[in-house]
Structure 1
Amino acid sequence: MSASRRPVTLAAAVATAAALGATFALPALAAGEAAPAAAPASVMELTDGTLDWGFKESFRRYIGGAGTITVKDGATQAAGNGIFTFGNGRGTYDTATHGTDTAFDGSVNFSAHGGVLDITLSDVKVSTSGTSGAVTVDLKTPQGTEDDVEFAELDLSAVRPGQGEGGAMVFKDIPSKLTKAGSAAFNGMYAEGEALDPATLSVKAVTTPPTEEPTKEPTEEPTKEPSEEPTKEPTKEPTKEPTEAPTAAPTDRPTTPAPSASAPADGQGEIVDGTLDWGVKESFRSYVTGPVANGRVETGGGATASAAGYRFPDATGGFDADEQTLDAAFDGTVRFLGHKEGDAYTLDLSLTGLEIRLEDGAGTLVADVSSKDRETRKVTTRTDLEIADLKLPAGELEAKDGVVTLSAVPATLTADGTEAFGGMYAKGTQLDALTVSVALDEDAELPAATAGSGTTGGSGTTTGSGGTGSTTGATVGGGGTVGGSASLASTGAGLPAGALIAASGVVVAAGAGVVIAARRRRTV
């Protein structure tokens, strides 16, 4: 019983912002009045905008190990080699065409290999039209400078707006991908269409507060409501209910919890079924199946490949709305294999026994993990490892029609979770968002997922019963060299030095891989 998301564009959100209590206000038409052929005040000013965007996390990590990242002119970078924030956004929103254009302050420079790699992005702008958009930049490389390069495409078709401080409209985690021009800036290191970090856009509209409306509303409405309602309702209802309804009313009103015969109270209960949809980390999946690790992903124990990455089924546990707790354990295993040496894989990472634990607005994702040291090949098993912190949505946990659902819950790597990846990722690294749906009633309907065969293999090709798709991963150095094949010396093996540097750094950091550990199912 999954509700499909209605595509929401930036324009549509601006139009409905008044209902969300934001500062946006669009000119209204009088009843029956046709829209003028040329609306004189169709352009609204946007101000105080911000763009949070990291370009590409794997590229930042690569530069962090091989060179420097410099932000200036108003741009900032989050701690731990995090994402960039471009501020002081100013622009326009056209109420006739529903298009937006916003320009931001700040620049970021990536430099490595003694200046062979030297890329500066500045004068960052975001434009939207309908459900699509673009990030344009002024681009400076050793080959020259080019202004207003359409660097990344934005897809707003599944993005839902939120409200920020001061009535700002916030569009979180907008999917972005590299354009042909953006690919050329990196000498083809990343291909056109390569998935980039999601972007978060925040904008405000400059409007003048109304002067007449507030004085009309309060003077007419309040005087009618209180005078008529309280006198009619209380005198009739109480006299009828006690005298006529003692025998009939109990069967009509309060006794109507007949649903409890087939479904438990939505407030609490034992979990009888449920699913967890999670992709672990998209860039890690791409790395494993890409040309560097040249590996594959396997699922087992009931887990299957899905649109979100992987689906883990057969939840057990418990839910209590009063205590605001949920504990759900799931079946299934996902195994990442890469860097084959002989008959074994140097990278062999498995996660099993995944469990979601939520209490008092905080949440963790727990799993059983075992790791094999790259040098000694010794296997270390870790059970009940808290691998991710979960950021729960605002509001209370609740069940509807016997199902508790949490969609697109942000997850970040914990300090213990870094062990699962052999230190490849730092604490706080953004993992894939996860979706949890658990049923308290055997007749409740859970959201469906398109499942695959459970094997994602070789060079980024995902194979499943639902179809075959290509997800070629462009890990740093995966398909080319930073700065081009001519920029750095090549090795006798035919793999550019840049690729070898990136691959060796990642493999060493990963410290090999992880082998599955069986775990006894936990029940609540």
Structure 2
Amino acid sequence: MNRTVSRAVVLLASTAVATTGLAVLSTATHAAEVGENCHVVTTGTADWAMRTSFNSYLEGPIANGALYKYKGGIEVRDGVETSGERATRQFTWPVSGSNDGEINFGGGVHWTGHNHYTGDDASQAPDNFILDLDISNPTIEFNGTQATLLVDYKSREFVDTTTVAGFLSGTQAELATITLDEAIDLTTPSVTVIGETVPTAAGVDVMGGFYPAGDALAPITLNLTNEVVCDEPQEPETPETPDATTGSSEGGILGIVGILAALGGIGAVVYNYLVSAGIIAAY
């Protein structure tokens, strides 16, 4: 293949490569502009004590006083932080993620009291708490100023202070409805919203029947931070054009044919032109 032909082939192939590259770049740029590569990352906490009177009762002399050989209390786990005691007890739940109209929190809280076991085998005590409630992984589904609080739970039905009843359990059960003081806006950098919580009919079962429907639970305060994160669009890889002036004539032609094949439709047009002009033989 002479030098003039080689230059023509290289020029045509380079034009095809550049045209294809521009098309890919244009598509990637458009995707970034319309936000296809962007998403909101929500972090923060929810301050929610479940019910102040419940915490006060559980940590007082009735549920965990001198009457009981083995005592329970309140345990937190998986990122939940707690402060205060009895009427001032507070729990801070960490945000674990968010979607459109939904905020997920992590961690769990375990309340135990009224231990019915009086024997000497301490390993039996954990199975004999008459009051035994565990709540974890809260989710808030919201629409405007109305929201629903869902939780994973395991709870004993509360009959009386001498009966160890069976456990009830569920995943993402509706514990309470929430009336927010303002709508949650995950497009703003920071959000602080307060909501009043009231147990649903299902929430009564979640709490072991300890409180009737309609009794207010503790208010909830959401402290959220939202950040828009965009992934950088990947730039297309441009195939290297072989040097037509080096190597054997057959090797150079095969290399160019390979490049044209990789370019798809544009490559096919260039290839057909080269064949019709007699510059290369059909392969």
Q: Quick one: which of 78, 94, 105 aligns to 1:301?
A: 78
Per the TM alignment, residue 337 of structure 1 is displaced from its structure 2 partner at its CA by 0.8
Q: Counterpart in 2 of 1:358? A: 142
- The structure with the largest strand share of the pair is 1
Q: Counterpart in 1 of 2:116? A: 341
Secondary structure at 2:103 match in 1: strand
Q: Counterpart in 2 of 1:386? A: 174
Contact 2:106–2:138 (8 Å) recurs in 1? yes
Say whether residues 1:404 and 2:191 are aligned partners. Answer: yes
Per the TM alignment, residue 274 of structure 1 is displaced from its structure 2 partner at its CA by 2.2
Partners of 2:220 and 2:174 in 1: how far apart?
Answer: 15
Per the TM alignment, residue 329 of structure 1 is displaced from its structure 2 partner at its CA by 0.8
Q: Quick one: which of 216, 220, 242 aligns to 1:430?
A: 216
Q: 1:361 to 1:272 in 2, by over 3 A?
A: closer
Say whether residues 1:278 and 2:48 are aligned partners. Answer: yes
Q: How many residues align?
A: 170
After TM superposition, the structure 1 = structure 2 runs for residues 23-422 of structure 1, keeping only pairs within 5 Å, are 269-294=39-64, 295-306=72-83, 309-319=90-100, 326-342=101-117, 343-344=125-126, 345-373=129-157, 375=163, 377-394=165-182, 396-399=183-186, 402-407=189-194, 409-422=195-208
Q: Work out the percentage of aligned pairs sharing the same amino acid.
A: 27
Partners of 1:311 and 1:379 in 2: how far apart?
Answer: 26
Per the TM alignment, residue 428 of structure 1 is displaced from its structure 2 partner at its CA by 1.2
Partners of 1:358 and 1:284 in 2: how far apart?
Answer: 26
Code of the aligned partner of 1:312: W
Per the TM alignment, residue 397 of structure 1 is displaced from its structure 2 partner at its CA by 3.2
Contact 1:353–1:367 (8 Å) recurs in 2? yes
Code of the aligned partner of 1:296: G
Contact 1:302–1:313 (8 Å) recurs in 2? yes
Per the TM alignment, residue 284 of structure 1 is displaced from its structure 2 partner at its CA by 0.3
- TM-score after normalising by structure 1: 0.30
Contact 2:97–2:105 (8 Å) recurs in 1? yes
Contact 2:41–2:226 (8 Å) recurs in 1? yes
- Which structure's relative contact order is higher, taking Cα pairs within 8 Å and 6+ residues apart? 2
Deviations for 1:308-351, whole angstroms, at most 9, x for unmatched residues? 710111330124xxxxxx31111111111101122131111110
Partners of 2:186 and 2:141 in 1: how far apart?
Answer: 16
Per the TM alignment, residue 359 of structure 1 is displaced from its structure 2 partner at its CA by 1.2
Contact 1:269–1:440 (8 Å) recurs in 2? no
Contact 1:271–1:315 (8 Å) recurs in 2? no
Rg (Cα) greater in structure: 2
Per the TM alignment, residue 401 of structure 1 is displaced from its structure 2 partner at its CA by 5.4
Secondary structure at 2:62 match in 1: coil
Contact 1:271–1:438 (8 Å) recurs in 2? no
Secondary structure at 1:316 match in 2: strand
Contact 1:298–1:334 (8 Å) recurs in 2? yes
Contact 2:187–2:226 (8 Å) recurs in 1? no
Code of the aligned partner of 2:189: G
Q: Which runs of 5+ in 1 are unaligned?
A: 1-260, 320-325, 444-524
Q: Which runs of 5+ in 2 are unaligned?
A: 1-31, 65-71, 118-124, 230-283
Partners of 1:376 and 1:290 in 2: how far apart?
Answer: 20
- The structure with the largest helix share of the pair is 2
Q: 1:433 to 1:376 in 2, by over 3 A?
A: closer
Partners of 1:293 and 1:417 in 2: how far apart?
Answer: 22
Partners of 1:350 and 1:313 in 2: how far apart?
Answer: 17
Contact 2:130–2:164 (8 Å) recurs in 1? no
Deviations for 1:375-418, whole angstroms, at most 9, x for unmatched residues? 56433211111111101224x433575223213x1111111111
Per the TM alignment, residue 442 of structure 1 is displaced from its structure 2 partner at its CA by 8.0
Code of the aligned partner of 2:98: G
Partners of 2:215 and 2:156 in 1: how far apart?
Answer: 22
Contact 1:315–1:438 (8 Å) recurs in 2? no
Q: Provide the alpha-carbon RMSD of the alignment.
A: 2.6
